[in-house]
């Protein structure tokens, strides 16, 4: 096991890892106002490229928060809520899931409130999360899948050093139609 760093998953799950980028706070989803989560996940453009139905009520949003907290307690998922520094506006969500404890990799996904697209928010926050995952937790690999046609996410992942490893044919059933996705990965060298 020469060259293998000490994987520190307990740092990820003992207490929620609140992070801060230069301009944004990445907080536990329990801090989220259900109305703001509803506003994020009910917008058709925001959920266009993710495999979940829109959140249709504030009650659905609250159930989503409770499920995320349960998955965190089970060490299966981490969801960072992206806030401005005044903690007034939920800007988006970064999700870490599919955590493989044995081989030290996980998947990452993200959504941003439509009104904040094109401002570099996800780029800045993802860099902060990735640095934490690679340097503190010692993940070896972070994967991201994005649907073919999701050019904004493709460009973002490539700018952040993710490498396209292949095309997964018809691997997601979205709104009654099978969709292809690209597999991207970033490896800690």
What pLDDT score does 2 carry?
Answer: 52
Separation of alpha carbons 155 and 96, rounded Å:
20
22 part of a folded domain: yes
- For the segment 46-65, the average pLDDT, to the nearest whole number, is 87
What does the mean pLDDT of the chain come to?
93
176 part of a folded domain: no
69 part of a folded domain: yes
Tens of pLDDT, residue by residue over 69-85, are 999 999 999 999 999 98
What pLDDT score does 4 carry?
Answer: 78
- For the segment 146-151, the average pLDDT, to the nearest whole number, is 92
Whether residue 114 contacts residue 45, with contact meaning beta carbons closer than 8 Å, is answered with: yes
30 part of a folded domain: yes
Distance of CA 70 to the CA centre of its chain: 17
Question: Number of C-alpha atoms within 13 angstroms, CB side, residue 181?
Answer: 17
What pLDDT score does 50 carry?
Answer: 81
169 part of a folded domain: no
153 part of a folded domain: no
168 part of a folded domain: no
36 part of a folded domain: yes
90-100 and 141-147 as β-strands: parallel, antiparallel, unpaired?
A: unpaired
CATH of the domain at 73: 3.40.630.30
Higher pLDDT, 3 or 110: 110
What pLDDT score does 21 carry?
Answer: 96
Tens of pLDDT, residue by residue over 96-107, are 999 999 999 999
* Domain region containing 103: 10-139
Model confidence at 1: pLDDT above 80: no
Name the domain count of the chain: 1
């Amino acid at each position: 096991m020469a060259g293998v760093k000490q994987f520190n998953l307990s740092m990820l799950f003992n207490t929620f890892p609140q992070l801060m980028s230069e301009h944004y706070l990445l907080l536990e989803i329990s801090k989220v106002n259900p109305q703001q989560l509803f506003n994020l996940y009910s917008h058709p453009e925001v959920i266009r490229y993710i495999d979940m139905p829109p959140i249709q009520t504030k009650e659905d949003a609250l159930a989503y928060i409770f499920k995320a907290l349960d998955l965190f307690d089970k060490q299966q998922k981490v969801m960072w809520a992206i806030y401005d520094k005044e903690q007034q506006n939920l800007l988006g969500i970064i999700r870490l899931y599919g955590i493989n404890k044995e081989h030290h990799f996980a998947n990452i996904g993200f959504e941003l409130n439509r009104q904040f697209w094109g401002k570099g928010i996800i780029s800045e926050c993802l860099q902060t999360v990735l640095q934490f995952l690679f340097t503190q937790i010692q993940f070896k690999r972070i994967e991201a899948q994005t649907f073919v046609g999701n050019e904004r996410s493709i460009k973002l992942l490539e700018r952040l050093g993710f490498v396209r490893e292949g095309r997964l044919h018809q691997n997601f059933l979205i709104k009654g139609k099978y969709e292809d996705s690209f597999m991207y990965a970033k490896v800690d060298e």
